[in-house]
A and B are shown apart, each in its own frame.
Chain A
Amino acid sequence: MNAFDFRAPRTLDEALGILAEQGDDGRAIAGGTALVTMMRQRLLRPACLVSLREIAGLDRIQAANGALRLGALVTHREAETAALIRERLPVLAETFRSVGSVRIRHMATVGGALAHADPNQDPPVTLMALGARVQSRRAGGDRELPIDEFFRDYYQSALEPGELVTGVTVPLLPPASGASFVKFLPRTADDYATVAVAAVVALEPDGERCREARIALGSVGVTPLRARAAEALLRGERLGEPSVRAAGEAAKGEVDPLTDHRGSAAYKREMAAVMVARALRQAWEAAQRAARGRPDAGAPR
């Protein structure tokens, strides 16, 4: 790695100040799992690393106003094991649990994962299906972006230079709805997905028709993406095998996967259809259970 200046500010505003000073030369670091790996490969050579690890108050998990809020410095492991998340949004805990290995999850943070903007990551997929909102701060002040607008390109988020993620707000599921996360991993258990799908299905009060579906996919484009055509197909429909499969096929047309060692673009496209259908089936079953007033049996094992 290159030689670099290392700063460890104690407040967020101090960190922002240093980043503003350093401009292009500075980068924020939290868990470092992605950043240090890239620096070791000489893909990045920041002259100054600004560690966020000593900043207090960014690692809270709270519930308020029908949503959960995760601070940017919450680690994947904390998100995976937090009772609040396991009980109220088990699909999110499950998703964090699927990332890499325990060692990675002990260091990698929620904010870092969002800022890294790698389309192969899992948490953004579920956060997108859940309609999360990302909070960030820069010198000019705070702002909040719907996660649908947060990812711009490969490794590129909407964050401006010197801007830091401060947290993410995740709405709880509405009544009569269910969620699922499907990670297709044909190779090793700790890898990124070949295709990942998160689905949320909300049913009409009668528990029969789909009021709304949200389908997000990872590893099938330069950013995580929503399969809006597939979602539109399901709106107002009585769900069943035919509609779930049709949605899977529709999703195929909305993805633009990259060929890599986890699969060819063509294979990922085919698997996107399969996994979308699988995720929808699971989410729909969970929604039906919720509609009938039964506790969600889809809780993490």
Chain B
Amino acid sequence: MTFTQECVIPVERARLWEFLMDVPTVGRCIPGVDTVEAVDGNAYRGGLKVQVGPIRIALEGTITVEEQDRSAWRARMRAEANDRRLGGGIRARLSLTLVPAEIGTRVQIDTDLAVLGKIGEFGQPVIKRKADTLLEEFARNLRAALVA
């Protein structure tokens, strides 16, 4: 499934870019992420916990930054994570673009997400809603981290 999300952060673009390219720091702003550690230059290992009602999903995997184009203010990432207990996982390609907004910067995230196995049975709108909720909280955390 593909979808696009947006949020506006009241911070100017260059500063936001620097912050977003620091993956471990950004990881800490995502609700449900515990640790993010570098594996090598572009790859990071981490975990994400999400809940659907009483069902707890614990994804463990890697995120790789495939491209960072500061001149175009665009970055592309690939993520792969599994929940070994439930027997399912996600494969995602993300493209992040920063565009100046009236106040600060608009972050546009284009995601191409495949949800595999048991988790995939929840259906797209549930997953999309979870992604929207995650983004809302992520944006709140970003603003809190950057607007001191």
Complex: A in contact with B (CB within 8 Å)? yes
**Nearest residue, chain B, Cβ from A27:** B54
**Nearest residue, chain B, Cβ from A155:** B53
A41–B124 CA distance with the chains assembled, in angstroms: 20
Q: Does A117 contact B (CB under 8 A)?
A: yes
Also in contact, A258 and B125, with CB within 8 A (given A27-B54, A155-B55, A156-B53): yes
A258 touches B54 (CB 8 A): no
| Shortest CB distance A116–B (Å) | 9
A92–B125 CA distance with the chains assembled, in angstroms: 29
Choice from A38, A155, A265 contacting B125 with Cβ under 8 Å = A265
B52 touches A155 (CB 8 A): yes
Q: Does A260 contact B (CB under 8 A)?
A: yes
Which residues of chain B are near A44, meaning CB under 8 Å? 54-55
Near B by CB (< 8 A), chain A positions 181-230 give 222
Chain A, interface size: which category?
10 to 19
Which residues of chain A are near B124, meaning CB under 8 Å? 258-259
Q: Does A256 contact B (CB under 8 A)?
A: yes
Choice from A43, A153, A257, A260 contacting B118 with Cβ under 8 Å = A43
B122 touches A154 (CB 8 A): yes
A38–B118 CA distance with the chains assembled, in angstroms: 11
Choice from A27, A38, A43, A259 contacting B123 with Cβ under 8 Å = A259
Q: Does A42 contact B (CB under 8 A)?
A: yes
Count residues of B near A (Cβ-Cβ below 8 Å): 14
Q: At the interface, is chain A mostly helix, strand, loop or mixed? A: loop
A42 touches B85 (CB 8 A): yes
Q: Does B146 contact A (CB under 8 A)?
A: no
| Shortest CB distance A158–B (Å) | 12
B125 touches A222 (CB 8 A): yes
Q: Mark B106-148, 1 if CB is under 8 A from A, else 0.
A: 0000000000001000111110010000000000000000000
A38 touches B55 (CB 8 A): yes
Q: Mark B79-99, 1 if CB is under 8 A from A, else 0.
A: 000000111000000000000
Which residues of chain B are near A42, meaning CB under 8 Å? 85-87, 118
A154 touches B52 (CB 8 A): yes
With A155-B55, A222-B129, A256-B125 given, name 11 new contacts (CB 8 A).
A27-B54, A42-B85, A42-B86, A45-B85, A117-B53, A154-B52, A154-B53, A155-B52, A155-B54, A156-B53, A258-B125
Contact surface of A with B, Cβ cutoff 8 Å: 27, 38, 41-45, 117, 153-156, 222, 256-260, 265
Contact surface of B with A, Cβ cutoff 8 Å: 52-55, 85-87, 118, 122-126, 129
